[in-house]
Amino acid sequence: MTEKEVNYASKDILHSIKKVLKSSTNIAEEIKSAKLDEIKHDIEMTEAIQRGALSGELLARKRSYHLQKKLKLLSIFRKLFSTR
């Protein structure tokens, strides 16, 4: 390989590494956001239970929330594995 080819290959490798790092950072932020949403939801549900207000509507919201959370995590993992 010539010096010029080595330089091009090095730049290409660095560019690929930067893309993976950026993607990983974005995925980490999404996971962090999902965890914060989960904690907030758990606090709200705990407060509702303490007030004795866990009616059928709240149970349905809880189920819906957990399904949404699972879908969001699936989306995150799809992004994680599709970037590689």
pLDDT of the chain, 84 residues: tens digit per residue:
788 888 888 888 888 888 888 888 888 888 888 888 888 888 888 887 776 666 667 777 777 888 888 888 888 878 877 765
Single-letter code of the amino acid located at 10: S
- Residue 5 CB neighbour total at 10 angstroms: 9
pLDDT of residue 84: 54
**Helices 3-50 and 56-82, axial angle in degrees (round to 10):** 170
Per-residue pLDDT, 76: 80
pLDDT at position 52, please?
Answer: 65
The residue length of the chain stands at 84
Q: Domain count of the chain?
A: 1
Q: Is 73 exposed, middle or buried (0-12, 13-18, 19+ CB in 10 A)?
A: middle
Domain span at 32: 3-82
- State residue 83's pLDDT score: 62
What CA dihedral angle connects 14, 20, 26 and 30, to 10 degrees? Answer: -160
Q: What is the pLDDT of residue 53?
A: 60
Of 73, 68, 66, 71, whose CA–CA distance to 27 is shortest?
Answer: 73
